[in-house]
Amino acid sequence: MFTFAPSNADVHKNYLNNIGMYLDTKEKKEIFKKHGGAEENTGSPEGQVALFTYRISHLTEHLKKNRKDYGTQRALQLLVGKRRSLLDYLKAKDIERYRAIVKELGLRR
């Protein structure tokens, strides 16, 4: 008897539909609207830092459950480095904007 086995694309599609992605376009637009000034302003340093912070928190939670996931660990380290570079740029360019985004996101204590 022949049984139907779904293709990889079907499994992936069903997996994403049932569980959902952790960051979809709606959430991204909300992040950029709140921190970048507008939904379309995706290139602002504040919006990028906020997006990186969201992703960093998600990956940190993942690594708490899966401590041997070295690929995710490397991705997390790269994201932290990118965020640090953007924050350094913002600090050199406009210290008030830097202080505002750090306070808003709670990055420094």
Phi, psi of 39 (to 5 degrees): -65, -35
Three-state DSSP at 74 gives helix
pLDDT of the residue at 74: 96
- Global pTM reads 0.78
Q: What is the mean pLDDT of the chain?
A: 85
CA-based nearest residue to 76, from 56, 58, 47, 49: 56
24-48 exposure pattern, b = at least 16 Cβ within 10 A, e = fewer: eeeebeebbeebbeeeeeeebbbbb
Q: Where are the domains of the chain?
A: 22-105
Can you tell me the distance from the alpha carbon of 80 to that of 58, in angstroms, rounded to the nearest whole number? 12
Query: With contact defined as beta carbons under 8 Å apart, do 52 and 66 qualify?
Result: no
pLDDT digits (tens, 9 = 90+) for 69-80: 999 999 999 999
CATH code reported for the domain at 22-105: 1.10.287.10
* pLDDT per residue as tens digits for the range 2-53: 555 555 555 445 444 455 677 888 898 999 999 988 888 889 999 999 999 9
Q: Which pLDDT belongs to residue 41?
A: 87
pLDDT at 77: 97
- What is the pLDDT, as a whole number, of residue 24? 86
The predicted structure's pLDDT at residue 21: 73
What is the pLDDT, as a whole number, of residue 1? 54
Q: Are the CB atoms for 52 and 86 separated by under 8 Å?
A: yes
- The pLDDT value recorded for residue 11 is 47
